[in-house]
Chains A and B, each alone.
Chain A
Amino acid sequence: MTGQRVSNAKSKVVPSKQILPSEEIEMEPETMETKSVTDYFSKLQMGSLGYACPNKQK
């Protein structure tokens, strides 16, 4: 069956604008960077060490 389709594919190129292959793929979510007022609040409590590297997120 696949072989037949390959043969069809080679001989009959039919243009179509109806569907693009990208329409159906499903993407993974974006990752946004986060800040928190407590990061800075903690820093005020902890002194200069607190904001060396803000919270890690996945």
Chain B
Amino acid sequence: MEASCLELALEGERLCKAGDCQAGVSFFEAAVQVGTEDLKTLSAIYSQLGNAYFYLHEYSKALEYHHHDLTLARTIGDQLGEAKASGNLGNTLKVLGRFDEAIVCCQRHLDISTEHCDKVIGEARALYNLGNVHHAKGKNLACAGTQDPGDFPEEVISALQKAAEYYEENLVIVKELRDRAAQGRAYGNLGNTHYLLGNFRKAVRSHQERLQIAREFGDKSAERRAYSNLGNASVFLGEFAVAADHYKRTLYLARQLRDRAVEAQACYSLGNTYTLLQDYEKAIEYHLKHLLIAQELTDRIGEGRACWSLGNAYTALGNHEQAVHFAEKHLEISKEVGDRSGELTARMNLSDLQMVLGLSYSTNSSILSVSQELDYNSQGARPRLGRRQSMEKMELMRLTPEKFQNWN
């Protein structure tokens, strides 16, 4: 009986290590069914079941098993086991959006690690997890609120600042340990935290460190992430040509990695960046590439965004017929996916375009630029044609005027 439980668990471990968590779960579940009197073995099975479900994105199941593991570790007085279970439970609660409970668990992981022989490694890992929870909490509060980006309330800024502090503390330890992989992770997430806080220069420095470490390891996925994050920060620094270079590296690596979804995202970012560079032909080229992949992946939301962007770019070039075509497509998709905001935008764009097309026959002049100037001169009103030509990041720039003074 004992041997059978152990054998099943060993097979579960082997399968999970080989990357087949689904099959691994079946063996671990079978091992639990058989049962064992060795509670540390049972604890290890619960922990691995929790992790397997976590990687399979079945978070309520992951929560259940990490909770069993925590209870068991406490029952048998296994403090290091309790620390690990607390950390895993914290990570799972974070993904489920239960941030305050996650913080309690990750803090427990940190406290036990600090007191025990696992001090250095366990402490560093707990600090990284705590950084992640505070980052997620801040991001969640920012997304849930009605405020504009860049104008985050105090609680969001406070959570993000705490995240940055935990990543910095983690970095001090993992640098001492010369653990480059851990440094890479911390730099990446620290960079993202600085980005959200509007510290774009610091974000760039962190992501450059992350890039260097990714290259040392030959980790193409991490390298691609770093380029993408560098591109985002460069856009907010107004360095659009630099951003385009970073996104081109992202695209190149996405193709190497054969990740079509990531390739689509890179094309979309490049389309937006060329819009900022006012090179609308190139913007259209990349938005069309994005559109093709979105269609291939049956990503209707992505397709809608591509159509909206293409409508804007064709409008900027004065090709109003193509602009109407894509605005109509944007309207159709917005209605289909129930995007009320997108639907309203598409309707306004179509209305504006119809007006422009009508008026241009009689004026035979650049009505578009005249209208735009008029709109931009009206204080407090949303630019009418300007809204079509604007893109997401340009909108953001108008939203975060105070940031411009602090970026450099």
Contact = CB atoms under 8 A, between A and B. Distances in A.
A27 interface: yes
A46 interface: no
Interface residues of A, number: 43
Say which size band chain B's interface belongs to: 35 or more
Interface in B181-217: 181-182, 184-186, 188-189, 192, 195-196, 210
A28 B225 contact: yes
B341 interface: yes
Contacts of B399: 13-16
B401 A13 contact: yes
B81 A35 contact: yes
Interface in A1-43: 1-2, 5-6, 8-22, 24-41, 43
Contacts of B91: 30, 32
A2 B192 CA distance: 23
Interface stretch (B39-47, B292-300, B321-329, B361-369): B39-47
B341 A18 contact: yes
B80 interface: yes
B210 to A, nearest CB: 8
Contacts, number: 156
A5 B379 CA distance: 16
B356 interface: no
Contacts of B148: 15-17
Contact of A25 (B128, B129, B196, B238): B196
Contacts of A25: 192, 195-196, 229, 232
B38 A53 contact: no
**Main SS of the interface on chain B?**
helix
Contacts of A1: 238, 240
A11 B383 CA distance: 12
B312 interface: no
A16 B395 contact: yes
B9 A33 contact: no
Interface string B364-389: 00000000000010010011000100
Contacts of B240: 1
Contacts of A35: 43-44, 47-48, 69, 81, 84
B384 to A, nearest CB: 11
A10 B81 CA distance: 55
B10 A37 contact: yes
Contacts of A33: 47, 83-85, 87-88, 109, 125
B221 to A, nearest CB: 9
A31 B44 contact: no
B356 to A, nearest CB: 20
B54 interface: yes
A37 B142 contact: no
Nearest to B121: A56
A40 B41 contact: yes
A17 B150 CA distance: 12
Nearest to B73: A35
Given A22-B143, A31-B128, A35-B47, A12 B398 contact: yes
Contacts of B40: 40, 43
B84 A27 contact: no
B161 interface: no
12 contacts: A1-B238, A5-B238, A5-B397, A10-B404, A16-B399, A17-B146, A20-B149, A22-B142, A29-B185, A40-B40, A40-B44, A54-B84
4 closest pairs, A vs B, by CB? A33-B84, A2-B238, A19-B392, A35-B44
Given A28-B185, A34-B51, 20 more contacts: A2-B238, A5-B397, A8-B397, A15-B399, A16-B148, A16-B396, A26-B225, A26-B228, A27-B188, A30-B91, A30-B129, A30-B132, A31-B125, A31-B128, A32-B51, A33-B109, A34-B48, A34-B84, A37-B9, A56-B121
